[in-house]
């Protein structure tokens, strides 16, 4: 069976093969159920049946434009305005008609997450089809298959697609964070942040960072920032992280101690200090390492100092690595002593020791070299490891490093001799320790 369609040109008839009739009928209904009564789709169906191929293209494109506008309004008009920067702010559906071109509409829909990258490319092609055959009546007649293909593309990438999630309003979200109504559900928070386009993720990150620094932020708001900021940090781009790092560098230069402490506290939650400059990290690490060095065997202070160093992360300025590793090693090894109350001779900070073990898990080749250098040159450490229990604690750190596959072979050779309890004499000989 074939169906004959008379086109707008009286002398021309189009014959639709029978196997294409079912295809056409299916494709014309391959749209969302809530969109089947759209006036432009209904019009396109009618004019196609009457042979109006040009008018079908025009009507179907109008259906696409109508759907995109409504989806953008649902998603976020505020974000659309920020991304496209139209001649006049878009506040209503009618504003699109006078102030937004089809190109801007498609670009904006893509940038705010209404359509995919592939849809963005295909719709630009469909727009060209509309401009050629509907916008220029003197062009050659479109083929039936050209019409079919445009309908199929528009259905697949727009008219069959559900409305995108509404983007959270940053202002309202932050207000909620400073109230008892804020829902501390990690999955919900991650979904809310993940759905944000980059421009909103940047705004949210910078505003939370700013509010955490100030004195007048409520305890409730700061607590909610501490809960949500690590979740947000996971979904932001490297560029936004570097932006926050640059803001931290500026704080260091300005010298406001309270703001620096607050910013440091927040960034250490997310290992964010890796994005600050070397100069800023030197200002942080130098006094922190010195505090540990100056309080050897003062267990309470050692615990606090190691805790702080661990929070600072592992992007240590290269010139401080030897001091950093030596201080940690001495703290962990401890000293030999006597106790009337306990049958022990190994004394060390119970608070600092487990943290140091964890920190050694992150050592690289440079840190391992510094560890070996401390064994060979640090007189206090060399004196203490003459005692069996202190040597065994040193060996525990050596075992941690030896189990790391990235450690160089020459370093592993030294560590293997260190951890071999049957060859203490060889080890002492290796480091010239009598």
Tell me phi and psi for residue 273, to 5 degrees: -70, -10
From the list 213, 285, 203, the residue with the least C-alpha distance to 251 is 213
pLDDT at 6 over 50: no
Residue with tokens 């893509």: 110
Instruction: Give the 3-state secondary structure of 219-231.
Output: HHHHHHHHHHHHH
Residues 268-296 have a mean pLDDT of 94
pLDDT at 58 over 60: yes
Residues 224-247 have a mean pLDDT of 96
* DSSP states of 140-175: PPPPHHHHHHHHHHHIIIIITSPPPPPPPPHHHHHH
pLDDT at residue number 92: 94
Residues 260-275 have a mean pLDDT of 92
pLDDT in tens, 298-314: 999 999 999 999 999 88
pLDDT at 4 over 70: no
Query: Does residue 24 contact residue 16 with C-beta atoms inside 8 Å?
Result: yes
pLDDT at residue number 114: 92
Residues 74-97 have a mean pLDDT of 91
pLDDT at residue number 3: 47
Buried b (16+ CB within 10 A) or exposed e, 245-268: beebbebbeeeeeebbebbbebbb
Residues 111-134 have a mean pLDDT of 92
> How deeply is 243 buried, as exposed, middle or buried, from its count of CB atoms within 10 A (0-12, 13-18, 19+)?
middle
**Long-range contacts of 419-427, Cβ-Cβ distance < 8 Å, separation of 24 or more:** 419/395, 421/392, 421/395, 424/391
Residues 170-176 have a mean pLDDT of 89
pLDDT in tens, 175-222: 999 998 999 999 999 988 988 888 889 999 999 999 999 878 899 999
């Amino acid at each position: 069976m074939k169906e004959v369609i008379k086109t707008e040109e009286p002398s021309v008839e189009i014959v639709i093969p029978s196997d294409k009739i079912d295809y056409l009928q299916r494709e014309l209904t391959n749209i969302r159920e809530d969109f089947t009564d759209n006036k432009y789709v209904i019009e396109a169906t009618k004019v196609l049946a009457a042979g109006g191929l040009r008018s079908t293209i025009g009507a179907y494109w109008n259906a696409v434009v109508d759907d995109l506008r409504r989806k953008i309004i649902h998603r976020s008009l505020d974000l659309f305005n920020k991304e496209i920067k139209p001649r006049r702010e878009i506040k209503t559906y009618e504003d699109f008609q006078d102030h937004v071109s089809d190109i801007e509409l498609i670009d904006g829909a893509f940038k705010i997450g209404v359509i995919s990258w592939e849809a963005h490319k295909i719709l630009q092609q469909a727009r060209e089809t509309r401009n050629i055959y509907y916008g220029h009546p003197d062009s050659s007649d479109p083929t039936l298959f050209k019409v079919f293909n445009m309908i199929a593309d528009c259905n697949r990438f727009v008219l069959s697609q559900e409305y995108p999630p509404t983007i959270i309003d940053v202002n309202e979200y932050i207000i909620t964070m400073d109230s008892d109504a804020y829902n501390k559900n990690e999955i919900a928070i991650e979904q809310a942040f993940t759905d944000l386009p980059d421009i909103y993720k940047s705004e949210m990150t910078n505003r939370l960072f700013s509010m955490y620094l100030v004195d007048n932020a409520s305890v409730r708001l700061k607590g909610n920032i501490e809960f949500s900021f690590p979740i947000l940090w996971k979904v932001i781009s490297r560029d936004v992280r570097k932006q926050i790092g640059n803001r931290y560098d500026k704080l260091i230069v300005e010298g406001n101690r309270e703001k620096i402490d607050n910013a440091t506290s927040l960034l250490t939650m997310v290992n964010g200090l890796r994005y600050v400059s070397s100069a800023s990290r030197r200002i942080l690490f130098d006094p922190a390492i010195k505090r540990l060095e100056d309080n050897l065997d003062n267990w309470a202070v050692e615990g606090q100092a190691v805790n702080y160093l661990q929070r600072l992360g592992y992007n240590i300025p290269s010139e401080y690595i030897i001091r950093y590793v030596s201080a940690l090693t001495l703290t962990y090894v401890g000293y030999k002593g006597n106790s009337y109350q306990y049958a022990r001779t190994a004394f060390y900070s119970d608070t600092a020791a487990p943290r140091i073990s964890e920190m050694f898990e992150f050592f690289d080749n440079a840190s391992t070299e510094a560890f070996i250098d401390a064994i060979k040159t640090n007189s206090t450490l060399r004196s203490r490891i003459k005692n069996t229990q202190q040597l065994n604690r040193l060996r525990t750190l050596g075992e941690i490093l030896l189990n790391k596959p990235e450690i160089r072979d020459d370093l592993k050779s030294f560590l293997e001799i260190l951890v071999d309890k049957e060859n203490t004499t060889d080890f002492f000989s290796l480091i010239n320790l009598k």
